[in-house]
Amino acid sequence: ARGGFACLTLEEYADIVVRQLEVMPPETVIGRLTGDGMADSLIAPLWSRKKLVVMNTIDQLLYERNTWQGKTVV
């Protein structure tokens, strides 16, 4: 977009999260994978308003790839 920036799609975001989880030690506690933007001031990405959809998308991708947090950690 002219003068702006491109937001990640939900699928792109989930892919990044899953790839990062794979290299994160399993004993690392993750406090948050998604946040709560204020609805009246959130410009984008609109998909981020639907926390359950975001979490389910990440969970489904983990399942489809047969992967988990720490999978690549030696």
pLDDT of amino acid 74? 75
pLDDT of amino acid 1? 54
Q: What are the boundaries of each domain within the chain?
A: 10-64
Q: Structure pTM?
A: 0.88
- Low-confidence spans in the chain with pLDDT less than 70: 1
Closest CA relative to residue 15, chosen from 61, 71, 74, 68? 61
